[in-house]
Structure 1
Amino acid sequence: MREGFNSNRWTRRTAAVGGAALSALVLGQIALTGPVAAVPGLTYKTSTGPSNSAAKSQSAPCPTGTTVIGGGGAITGSGLGQVGMDIMRPLIGGDAYSVTGREDETGVAGNWAVTANAVCAPAPAGLVMVSGSSAPSFGTSNWFEKPCPAGKHAIGVGGAVVGASNSEVVLEDLRINQTSVVVAGAEDGTGFAGSWWLDATAICADPLPGEQRVINDSLYSSATTRSVVATCPSGRVHGVGGEILGGDGQVRLTEMRATTSTTVTVSAVEDEDGFSSNWKVRAYAVCAS
């Protein structure tokens, strides 16, 4: 079922661009009584596919007895500004996290590979995955928010841009708020004549022990590449999110994943023509201890 949409520039996101860069801001800490312990059996799985110049998907499966509670991925190789991670989400059933990479309409001469990363654990209390889709958009950008059921917190996010046959629409944002996720996309620098929409998946659960949301921003300027790390002040990474601010479809995510048990790295690169305006990337880490 497709839900409401906003075909105008995401004003909340644009307004945030003008502000100063955040520095390891910790949001939404939960105070719980009783013993505090990490979600038992938490593991991080990585799977890298072949290096070539074809559109491809890669999945990182979770061990038997565990399920996906978060995930992300990366693109490595040639032509990174022309290759989009257009689909990043848990598979139906929650046994793996999948990432799909596609080249833009002009293609890339060199080879590139997709890496998928999954955060896996035995299902925490109240775990549920909820999904939705925006209405089709003919605008240059769009965003869609999917809330968790009442009383639950978002601990993981998945998203996709749908409608183009190649990466002419950029998946810019996979944001984890406390009780919802937000997915945003924008047409690339050459635009897209057809309609497109966004899919969003929120991985939700009861509040985790010692739960915190850590947000960190890169510098805000015009640079070919940007990267930033969000670090858990305590506990371990349970959920992963990231976004591009100010990219206007001319910057693509190349990495959004847990790079250690306590860090989330988000990186992006300008397209092949460069981008004269200022932009930055933001990393989200959902931590629990």
Structure 2
Amino acid sequence: MSEHVRRWRHATVVLALSGAAAVVVVAPATPASAAVPGLVRISAVSATNSTDFKTVTATCPAGKVLTGTGYEVNGAAGEVIVDDLRPNGGPATAPTSVTVGAYEADAFAGNWSLTGYAICANPVPGLVRATVTSASNSNDFRSAIVSCPLGKVLTGTGYELNGATGEAVVDDFRPNGGVAAAPTALTVEAYEADAFAGNWSLTGYAICANPVPGLVRAAVTTATNSNDFRSAVAVCPAGKVLTGAGYELNGVTGEGVVDDFRPNGSSIAPPTAVTSGAYEEDAFAGNWNLTSYAICATA
């Protein structure tokens, strides 16, 4: 074989190998992992009857942890107050379930039920539950601000009214943060729904984790008027999923009841939005509105 042919074949082999290397370099990258993998919504429903008090616990599937909470009162249309929305867990233990408790605000003859919602995910690094409890006395108003431990962010929320048994209502349940800022704290405020002589207190619960990619807070506010009912749906931005939520009643100071606080999704689909619905508990002539908050992370 001539020297010219040998050199031509050698050059061809080198070019082929170079082309193969180029193909490897430009191959599509593996998609990024979800910020909160395995996210689903679990529900549990109480019996339907006319009993004054209902409680239900929604528990995450084995191997998953609780990132957020929700509830729904079915059939009572403002006559029932959710007294407890209590995630389990602690300052060194990840929550795995939420207990919801509700009382009739006034005697109500109709049948009603209570649904508890647990937003659950595969284990999330650093997930814990933080708490703050207000003073216990007979004042008309309570406020509790619970902040995540330093370096952690807020994925979900909860509260508990202690000693009021249907005579106090949560008016604000507000995560901080914004469209470009991760929430890190929760403000919970409550008023007596009717005059109540007993002592009571308010506990705020924050579900917190190590920084979560893309975590933000979205918000939607209804019109302001004197209608009896409000509903607001807060939807996560495109490409994000719902880890938790909150709400705020503006201008009604104890006369409004959030009847629905319902994340969408299912046991096989991640939530991406939350619906908050509120009724006047008693006739109220003033103007008021409702804000729904969604806590969202990268899908």
User: Would you say the 8 A contact 2:215–2:295 is kept in 1?
Assistant: yes
Match of 1:223 among 223, 227, 248: 227
In the TM superposition, what are the counterparts of 1:50-89 in structure 2 within 5 Å? 50-54=47-51, 55-78=53-76, 80-89=77-86
Match of 1:41 among 32, 38, 45: 38
Q: Which residue of 2 aligns with 1:3?
A: none
- CA drift at 1:169: 0.7
User: Would you say the 8 A contact 1:36–1:210 is kept in 2?
Assistant: no
Q: Which residue of 2 aligns with 1:172?
A: 171
Say which structure is richer in helix: 2
Q: Which has the higher contact order (CA 8 A, sep 6+)?
A: 1
Q: Which residue of 1 aligns with 2:237?
A: 233
User: Would you say the 8 A contact 1:155–1:176 is kept in 2?
Assistant: no
Indicate whether 1:254 and 2:254 are aligned. Answer: no
- CA drift at 1:35: 4.3
Cα distance between partner residues in 2 of 1:153 and 1:97: 19
Matched AA of 2:224: Y
Q: Any stretches of 5+ residues in structure 2 without a counterpart?
A: 1-30, 177-182, 266-270
Indicate whether 1:102 and 2:100 are aligned. Answer: no
- CA drift at 1:276: 0.6
Cα distance between partner residues in 2 of 1:100 and 1:186: 18
User: Would you say the 8 A contact 1:73–1:256 is kept in 2?
Assistant: yes
User: Would you say the 8 A contact 2:95–2:128 is kept in 1?
Assistant: no
Cα distance between partner residues in 1 of 2:162 and 2:227: 28
Match of 2:186 among 181, 190, 213: 181
CA RMSD of aligned residues (A): 1.6
Q: Which residue of 2 aligns with 1:288?
A: 297
Number of equivalent positions: 251
Indicate whether 1:160 and 2:157 are aligned. Answer: no
Cα distance between partner residues in 2 of 1:267 and 1:148: 27
Matched AA of 1:71: T
Matched AA of 2:35: A
Per-residue CA shift, 1:53-82, capped at 9, x if unaligned?
22011111100000111011010113x322
Q: Which residue of 2 aligns with 1:200?
A: 204
User: Would you say the 8 A contact 1:240–1:257 is kept in 2?
Assistant: no
Q: Which residue of 1 aligns with 2:7?
A: none
- CA drift at 1:138: 2.7
**Bigger-Rg structure (1/2):** 2
Q: Any stretches of 5+ residues in structure 1 without a counterpart?
A: 1-33
Q: Which residue of 1 aligns with 2:195?
A: 191
Matched AA of 1:142: R
| SS of residue paired to 2:264 | strand
Match of 2:278 among 268, 272, 284: 268
User: Would you say the 8 A contact 2:65–2:124 is kept in 1?
Assistant: no
Say which structure is richer in strand: 1
Segment of structure 1 superposing worse, 229-238 or 93-102 = 93-102
- CA drift at 1:281: 1.2
In the TM superposition, what are the counterparts of 1:206-217 in structure 2 within 5 Å? 206-217=210-221
Cα distance between partner residues in 2 of 1:230 and 1:145: 22
User: Would you say the 8 A contact 2:83–2:160 is kept in 1?
Assistant: yes
Per-residue CA shift, 1:111-160, capped at 9, x if unaligned?
11101011001221221111121111432211110111111111111101
Match of 1:279 among 267, 280, 288: 288
Per-residue CA shift, 1:150-196, capped at 9, x if unaligned?
111111111011112x31111222222211111111011x3111221
User: Would you say the 8 A contact 1:160–1:171 is kept in 2?
Assistant: no
Cα distance between partner residues in 2 of 1:40 and 1:227: 30
User: Would you say the 8 A contact 2:88–2:129 is kept in 1?
Assistant: no
Q: Which residue of 2 aligns with 1:139?
A: 139
User: Would you say the 8 A contact 1:36–1:209 is kept in 2?
Assistant: no
The percentage of counterpart residues that share the same residue type is 36
| SS of residue paired to 2:78 | helix
Cα distance between partner residues in 2 of 1:206 and 1:244: 30
Q: Which runs of at least 4 in structure 1 moved beyond 3 Å after TM superposition?
A: none
Normalised by the size of structure 2, how large is the TM-score? 0.80
| SS of residue paired to 1:81 | coil
